Structure 1
Amino acid sequence: MSDKILHNITKISADLFCKLLGQPSVSDLKTQLYEQNVQIQQLEDQEKALYRVISKIRASLELETIFRTATKETCKLLRVERIAVYRFYKNWGGEFVNDFEFAEPGWDDVETLGKNTVWNDSYLQEHQGGRYRNNETLVVSDVYSTGLSQCHLEILEQFHIRAYATAPIFVGKKLWGVLAAYQHSQPHEWKKLEIQFLSQIATQLGFAVKQAELLAQAEQKAAELHKANQQQEILFNLVAEIRESLNLDTLFKTTVREVRKALRADRVGIFRFDPESNYTSGEFVSENVLPDYDSVITIKVKDYCFGEKYAVAYHQGRIQVLSNIYQAGLKDCHLIVLEQFQIKAQIVVPIMKGQDLWGLLCVHHCRCSRDWKTSEIKFIRQLAAQFNVALEHSELLEQSHFQANQLAQANHALEVANSQLEKLSKLDGLTKIANRRCFDEFLEREWNQLKRTGNYLSLVLFDIDYFKDYNDCYGHLAGDECLIQVARAAQTVLKRPTDLLARYGGEEFIVLLPNTNESGAIKVTKLIHKSIELLNIPHTRKNSSQDFVTVSLGVATQIPTAKSSTQELVNAADKALYKAKEQGRNRWVCAAKV
């Protein structure tokens, strides 16, 4: 009997023996081991894919780019036919956002959900987000075997949807929307890993929306401060004009011109009451008006209602702000006067001469109604105060000092806002070192400079070994603290002001060393490696002789030329880093000559 036959008989006997004892056979154990290895590999592939997508999301501060990138990558990684983003309205209705959707070829023109399709789900409206408020996902493998209502099926059939999976997007604690994966051509059995991946991407999108909102608020604040600064500068110049000139006609013309430009109004005029009319008549003595509208200069205005009912209030400092003259409850006599000058909205501020009501500073909007901003009203109020100064010159010095101080404060506030905005755009929020965007700009600038001088440029690319295991073991807060300590340790090594340390993505960092050859770069690399090792951050792993956090590093050096590119240098450092990983981690590898 041959050895092979004997081996087969022995194997069969062993399998029968295991079955008699009620234990899994060797074949069963091998199958289970294979299936577990496949699951582990799938999980590892998903984690890598997730890190790639998160890195791309964090590389941009522009919301449309973030969502386009996330939906495209998610669609390809899950191998589904469409990924769409549904955003809730305040009433818990909502729409599929046009700019955020991605569909595979063949389905991108079939009843596109993302054509800002309004989809007001009565259930979601009634329950204010339903299951999504509890951070629950919804999975349907086949719409025809899930017991959906007929009306719901009709909507899904309209968009050729056969299977779908959805995950909520939270911005802070607020339910913002839903990330949805759709299959059109056939049913789809959703795997647990797929749903987990979809949920993780939805979470990252929520972070991105929050970051974009904070950035938008900072930009809006900067814009408001800039506008306030412009208004204060105009006010300051007008104050200077008042101080330097006693010619009221010149002063009035300058004022109405600059105010109309600053507020983008249709007409700005200065109205003077006839001295003996008891505030019942007067005329506009100066104006600046767009060509589309009539001039009001020298037109006599008679309004007996004003003298009887409103003069006292204006004398006491009343400011009239009308966003729409037809919704302000005005009497017919007052409306007739406003319509005579094509006025749809206006601001009227009293001009005082000493204790007397001298006239009115009027800002007219003629093309349509207008909601006046608080800053605009404040600006007109301040300007009218300066006219009081011009008419009563003794108050000039005090008012000019006040406005100069306001201008200084506005300038300082604008500088602070601009500085904060600049830091926000170029610093990594966690580690407080340069971010990817800052690194890319710095690399391009140094590359072009060294290309002219013919000097060396070196890169050191490194990341934390087994960082995912560290996060899983100690938690993400500890992971964040680890990243901060590693960044600080690496930063202490860099002594020259031209050297730059940046967070390149996730747990990956990069160092740019201008005017540094290979030996110099290796010296810096060793120092970085040692400084992080000396942190002694605990990181115990099975089957590992190291019980603290380590890093792997890749070094690349090149003299920039017209025929080479920055990407070649980055790629060389990246390959060297992965060689260090393959050789066992906790080491550095120098790239071959680029």
Structure 2
Amino acid sequence: MFNCTTSLTPSELKSAIIRDPLIIKPETTVMDAIAQMSGVRVMCDTAKLDEVHLEARSSCVLIVAAGRLLGIFTERDVVKLCSQRRCLENLAIREVMIHPVVTLRESEFTDLFFAVNLLQQYRIRHIPILDEQERVVGLLTNESLRHTSRSVDLLRLRLVSEVMTCEVICATPDSSMLAIAQQMTENRVSSVMIVQLGQFQDKPQEIPVGIVTERDIVQFQALGLNLETCQVQTVMSSPIFAVRPDDSLRFVQQIMEQRLIRRLAVTGDQGELLGIVTQSSLLQALNPLEVYKLAQMLEEKVVRLETEKVQLLENRTVELEQLVADRTASLKAKAGREQIVSDISRQIRSSLSLQTILDTTVEQVRQLLGCDRVNIWYFETEWESIVMAESTTSSTSLLGERIEELCFQQHSAEIYRQGRIRVVPDIYTIEMTDCHREFLIRLQTRAKILVPLLCGDELWGLLNVSESQHPREWQTEEVELLQGLSVHLAIAIHQATTHQKLQEQLIALQQRSDQLRGSEQRYITLSQNLEAKIEERTAELQAREAQLQKTSDRLSISLKSGAIGCWDWDIVENNIFWDERMYELYGVTKTSDSRLVYDTWANRLHPDDRANIEVLVQQAILGQAEYDTEFRVIHPDGSIHFIKAYGVVVRDAEGNPQKMIGVHFDISDRKKSEEIIRQQVEREKLLREITQRIRQSLDLQTIFDIACQEICQVIQADRVGIFKFYPESNFNDGEFVAESVVKEFPSVIAIRVHDHCFGENYSSLYALGRSYVVDDIYHSDMTTCHTDILAQFHVRANVIMPLLCGAELWGLLCIHQCATTRHWQQSEIDFTQQLATQLAIAIQQASLVEQLQQELAERHQAELKLTQSNQQLAISNQELARATRLKDEFLANMSHELRTPLNAILGMTEGLQEGVFGMINNKQFKALETIERSSSHLLDLINDILDVAKIEAGQIKLDCTTISVANLCESSLVFIKQQALQKRIQVEIKIPFNLPDLFVDERRIRQVLINLLNNAVKFTPEAGRISLEVTQLSPDISTVQNFLQIAVIDTGIGIMQENINKLFQPFIQIDSALNRQYEGTGLGLALVKKIVELHGGRVGLTSELGIGSCFTIELPCIPSTPASPDLIRDLLTTPTPELDSPTADEAVSLAPVILLAEDNKANIKTFSSYLSAKGYDILLATNGQQAIELATIHQPDLILMDIQMPGIDGLEAIRQIRLDPQLVNIPIVALTALAMTGDRDRCLQAGANDYLTKPVKLKQLATTIQQLLITTKK
């Protein structure tokens, strides 16, 4: 997936070496060196790598004498000298060069990251490269290493925000160059950002305007300019090149390469400075740990995306089901509305009574829309209307009421004359005049649709549909329904009014005829007038006919806009009339012969539909059925169209059919949509069924067979197969393990398939979840070898879906079209993808089941072996228990015998080293150091063995008290700070405020912390870092116990994961080589684990080889007594006390008298010689009784009391001494070699002031004596 930055060839690694670096002699002056550094620049067009090398050569000079590298002088050193204002004219380079120099042999430069780690570890930018004769052959820098690394893919995945440095050293443009140089030196940075202060939303912001680098100062110094008087704004590099936090590191790398720069500013949306990214930042992104973390992040992202993909597929299935349901409901509702409109239209046309038409309309519309009120207003005058018809659910009726609305102005009436419809969802949210809103409230109207009824150009009235109590969002379909219905209603109103007028005229004519019969003379006179009247009436009727023609034209326009074809069949004369749209619906040209029209209709009908349609026509004529049907017609070009047909039979007074009129319109698009939805529903249903059948079976072969058969049947492919790759074949070999194939083509089951180009060209794409769809293999971008393989199996078109088992490519789901090419539909591809996902899940489940069965079998075998082992262990445990008891008793009793001689050895050694027995030479001093080291190592071994033995024997009892965790940590750090200082190891402590106290044995837990800290110092290289951190954990749910976690974190050598569990076992060291390099008993961590577990705590470890380790101990705490923040603050700010002796001013002025009670001659010699050399007078007692007597007689300044003495032991002697009032304040130090649990407490209870365990450190003894004497004197 990524270009590996570490797998570089030797030649590529050598290209990172900058050949011919600048080399000068030690006596060269600094100014000459700076001149050479400033003189090397890119002066002509060269290759990118040459430009990088030329730029890098100018960043330093190497000081060489007699072929040997003596030191290095870099741009940072130039800046440092400038900040110190040193005169550089006659200053020799040998006086300021850096030495010794971190170098690397060319033969050892085999790993890019080894060099990168050297740069980061020593915080340097240059590594000279030497040959086998220690001669300089080249130079490595951040730029050359970064340019050599092939990190394009990795850097493209990393963002600037992940590696940028947020703490940027800045300065203003009016700063001096000297101040800039001093800033660089103090903060150890290679550049300073020049910013101007700005404001955005009342917040101060730093806007970068330029940058000054070490290289600029080198150039400046080479020119001999005055750093103190020159301002930054005159020499800074401007404008500054900047990137955004969300830019990729690849983009950063491109800018650096194009501009030959080493650092870029990181800015925000307002141009404010957020940070800086440098060459070192890019190299840090290539760190193996960072690569590993990135790989983990990508792996988690892949898992998350796969989960989201499955969730999306499931959601998509639910959405499709809902979409089908909604679409079906919508189609049913639309069909219902069309039927109702047809019924209303038919009822309107069937009557010539205006009132009947209006009553029918309002009743049917209210039932259809489910609203509160529907009424029809008729305009008697331009400003006054009357409610002609109404249907309402309210008890209040407006029928017959005259309504006068003053707000109905002229422009409003004109809008309705243009056919505009007024839709009001809520009168309180729609803009209208106040008087009109009050008028609607008076009419109990909250929401309405107002449709104009036009008779010609005249506004006859309004169709009003309204809701009384609640607002209503009127649907587009409802508005369109009322608009279409208003056309039919307007026609009916016009016909009814015309008919009514004709009736009235006929009645008038009849009355006139009756009057003519009464008087012949009047008849003659009137007949003359009648002729004129008839002519006038004829003209009027012609005008009315013209008006009807206009109405017919409007109706024709409405039908044409609705793509509706009209037909009229004169049944008596057998003549058929089609309008132009009818010919378009049947795909033929217009003809005037009605018989040809019938032939056209009959011939265009689909053969499967013709018989049913002819029967339905006869039934409609006989009055046995409604002519409301759907059928198919075939156009001359062979295309099939679906037609929706309505027809009405017109009969005479006797009920005989006279004519049949109707309409046709094309519903092919609707049928296609319904078919697509139906197929989608069937596929979704089939997908659920197949998925259920797959999940019900754990037999992989059965699952494969079912899936192949079902997919082949649904998609109608020639072959469906499941292909499995052979393990270790690099995805080039495999076989079909299941298939479903039509009879015309051969089976491919169990045939080994080898495609040598598949693994290289396609496997990585399929592993990412990509599918492959090909309509014709001979017109695609696939390789020739892959095409040849498919041709062997007669494949012409295919769909390939990957089958992934986890993140690995297991096989392929293959769908083949063998006979011809094929264009695969998206629905088929989606269906196949969904099934491939289910098959991948089944494969993974089957794999898990197989692993489970194998684990169960292995577990059963393990249980049998465990039973046998338990029987053997039962016998061995008895013998082991006895041996363990004897061992523990032996080790516990040997404490005194082992420690006593060691006390003399260490004491005499320490005395010799301090010159108590005379001066010694250097060789003798080193020999004594060896004796001391070996004795101390032996003492540590004895202590650890005894402690482990005591714990295992149950002889240690904890003395738990409430202690401050801050005091505990600070006092433990004292013991390792000197060792850390010698190795230049940075030690830090992080303790938050308000931590609760611990309830532990303070001495034992301090022993644990010191052990862990000693290990951290021992295994951390020089210039490393050690952290001691304390955090409070959440309460344990099972025990409701609060815990504090103390962590010791180091940057040491680290531990491999497989060795972590071995680390806490007694006498175990991971690597014998480490035993030779780092001394140790192998018991320290075992002792740590046992002590912590005795406290009811836990020990943890996380480590990475070469990175460092983190040891954690979790201890119970007391939540009710948090540590004081002031105490923690004081501990963190108070300097660590040193272990040196008190100063001369604090020493006792007169020689104190010390009573030494000791029966061992070697220890007597050791203690007396050392203390005498320190200026003390010694009284000697060899048993407890003698010690009591000498103390009573001499009243010494201090008593050293050995606990194990003949006769009266040390404890009893201390008790008797304390009974004497004159001796009660004399400080007593107890000395013992037992080191048993409770020894210290018994000594202190007897009356001792302090307690020391043999072997005693003589310096520690002297310090304790002086402290006690000073305390007593005060």
Q: TM-score range by the shorter chain?
A: 0.3 to 0.5
| TM value normalised by structure 1 | 0.42
Q: Which protein shows a greater Rg? A: 2
Q: Which has the higher contact order (CA 8 A, sep 6+)?
A: 1
